[in-house]
Amino acid sequence: MENKKLTIAVTGLNNIDSPGPGVPVIRALKKSGMDIKIIGLAYENLEPGIYMPGLVDKSYLMPFPSTGSEAFLERLAYVHEKENLDIVIPNFDSELFLFIKFNDKLKQMGIHTFLPTLEQFEERHKDNLPEYASNYNITVPESKPLVNIKELENLPKPLSYPYYIKGKFYEAFKVSNLAQSQYYFNKLSAKWGLPVVVQQAIQGTEVNVIALGDGEGNTVSAVPMRKQYITDKGKAWGGITISDERLLEITHDIIKKTKWRGALELEMIKTDDGEYYLIEINPRIPAWVYLAVGAGQNLPEMLCKLALGEKVEPVTAYKTGKMFIRYSWDLIGDISDFEKIIVFGEL
Amino acid sequence: MSKLNALAISDNGFIFKPSTGESFITNEIGLFIIQLLKSGKKADEIIQEIIQDFEVDNLTAGKDLYEFLDFLKKENMTD
Give the CATH number of the domain where residue B58 resides: 1.10.10
pLDDT at residue number A317: 97
pLDDT at position A72 is 92
Domain-located, residue B63 = yes
Query: What is d(CA A301, CA A309) in angstroms, rounded to the nearest whole number?
Result: 13
Chain A nearest C-alpha distance from B27 (Å): 21
Residues of A in contact with B21 (CB under 8 A): 207, 225-226, 228, 239-242
Judged against a pLDDT cut of 70, whether residue B24 lies above it is answered with yes
Task: Provide CATH 3.40.50.20 ranges for chain A.
Answer: 6-114+330-344
With the CA atoms of B45, B49, B50 and B54 taken in that order, what torsion angle do they form, in degrees rounded to the nearest 10?
170
pLDDT higher than threshold 80 for residue A24: yes
How far away is chain B from the Cα of A12, in angstroms, using its nearest Cα?
Answer: 28
Position B48 in a domain: yes
At residue A78's C-alpha, the angle toward residues A75 and A82, to 5°, is: 145
Give the closest of A205, A228, A321 to B18, CB-based.
A321
Range of the domain at B62: 3-74
Residue A245 distance to chain B (closest CA, Å)? 8
Which whole number is the average pLDDT over B19-47? 95
Pairwise CB contact (< 8 Å): B20 & A241: no
Chain B residues with CB inside 8 Å of A240's CB?
21
Task: Give the span between the Cα atoms of B48 and B9, in whole angstroms.
Answer: 23
* A137 within 8 A of A151, measured Cβ to Cβ: no
| Mean pLDDT (whole number) for B25-29 | 95
Alpha helices, DSSP H only, in chain A?
Answer: 22-31, 48-51, 69-83, 93-101, 103-109, 118-123, 129-136, 178-192, 245-258, 289-294, 299-307, 335-344
pTM of the model: 0.89
Q: Does A49 score more than 90 pLDDT?
A: yes
A228: chain B residues, CB-CB within 8 Å? 21
Into how many domains does chain B fold? Answer: 1
Which residues on neighbouring strands pair with residue A324, listed in sequence order? A239
* Domain assignment of residue B9, yes or no: yes
CATH architecture of A6-114+330-344: 3-Layer(aba) Sandwich (3.40)
> Domain spanning A142-200 has what CATH number?
3.30.1490
The better pLDDT of the pair A117, A93 is held by A117
Q: What is the pLDDT of residue A3?
A: 65
3-state class (DSSP) for residue A29: helix
| CA of B72 vs chain A CAs: smallest distance (Å) | 15
Cβ-Cβ contacts under 8 Å between A and B: the total is 24
- Of all residues in chain A, the one with the smallest CA distance to B20 is A242
Residues of A with a Cβ under 8 Å from any B Cβ are 205, 207, 225-226, 228, 239-244, 270, 320-321
Residue B79 in any domain: the answer is no
